[in-house]
Amino acid sequence: MSAPFGTAFDLIVSGDPALYEIIGLSLRVTLSAVAIAALLGLPLGAALALARFPGRGAVIVLFNALMGLPPVVAGLLIYLLLSRSGPLGDLALLFTPAAMIVAQTVLILPIVVSLTRSVTEDLWAEYEEQLKSLGATRLRAVPTLLWDGRVSLLTGVLAGFGRASAEVGAVLIVGGNIAGYTRTMTTAITLETSRGNLGLAVALGLILMALTLTLNALAWSLGQWQRERIG
């Protein structure tokens, strides 16, 4: 069982350019998806917390349910959308990193929206009087509330990162696992498993988990630092 650790270590120190290319692409795709999902999801989630409109409950339930959307289903729908025979075929995005970013964004947007809504609702309940007395409308309160909840919201964004970096079903379908172009950590693990190279597959998995751990440690430190400042 210790062999994969040795393989992982050898892989990292060997400086194999193919490995670094795969790690680079994985990070590029997932961080892009997280950035887009955060830019869209944070304001959307906060707006959903504060706005009152008919059907609001249904929209909230829908976003909550979409957190459980199976990656392979999301991948299939985006495949059909981006296929040359599909409605967006002229964009020629299928089997590109851009298609993988779209797929992961769709997967993590519901997580960011739902967690943001929940955090913002609590904050609004706490500060409603105060903000209203300062003359803030519900819409004007959105940036203030997002800023106040930044430490909690970071957890939501990290949950999104976790789902995106771990999934394989969607990126395999829309990316195609093309060597040197759309092969990510998770699709490479799938490929090596199917080749019977179980040791190499586990080694790649260990590297992926080390990356995730590092990113989470950084985010946690950032959160601690902010908490201390708020005091």
Residue range at the interface with other proteins (CB under 8 A); choices 24-32, 59-67, 158-166, 206-214:
24-32
Q: For residues 150-169, which are near other proteins according to CB under 8 A?
A: 150
- # residues contacting other proteins (CB under 8 A): 36
Residue range at the interface with other proteins (CB under 8 A); choices 1-9, 50-58, 119-127, 186-194:
186-194
- Determine if 41 is a binding residue for other proteins (CB under 8 A): no
Q: Pattern 101-140, binding to other proteins, x per CB under 8 A?
A: x---------------------------------------
Q: Applying CB under 8 A, which of residues 2, 14, 133, 194 lies at the interface with other proteins?
A: 194
Q: How many CB atoms lie within 10 A of CB 228?
A: 8
CB-facing half-sphere around the CA of 39: CA atoms within 13 A: 7
Residue range at the interface with other proteins (CB under 8 A); choices 29-37, 112-120, 125-133, 210-218:
29-37
Q: In whole angstroms, what separates CA 10 from the centre of its chain?
A: 29
Exposed / middle / buried, residue 141 (Cβ in 10 Å: 0-12, 13-18, 19+): buried
Hey, what are 213's tokens?
Answer: 């751990």
Query: In terms of Cα–Cα distance, which of 38, 59, 71 is closest to 175?
Result: 71
Longest dimension (CA), the chain: 66
The single-letter code of the amino acid at 107 is L
Q: Which is nearer to other proteins, 60 or 185 (CB)?
A: 185
- Determine if 95 is a binding residue for other proteins (CB under 8 A): yes
CB-facing half-sphere around the CA of 132: CA atoms within 13 A: 7
Q: Which residues bind other proteins (CB under 8 A)?
A: 28, 31-32, 34-36, 38-39, 83-86, 89, 92, 94-98, 101, 147, 150, 176-179, 181, 191, 193-198, 226, 229
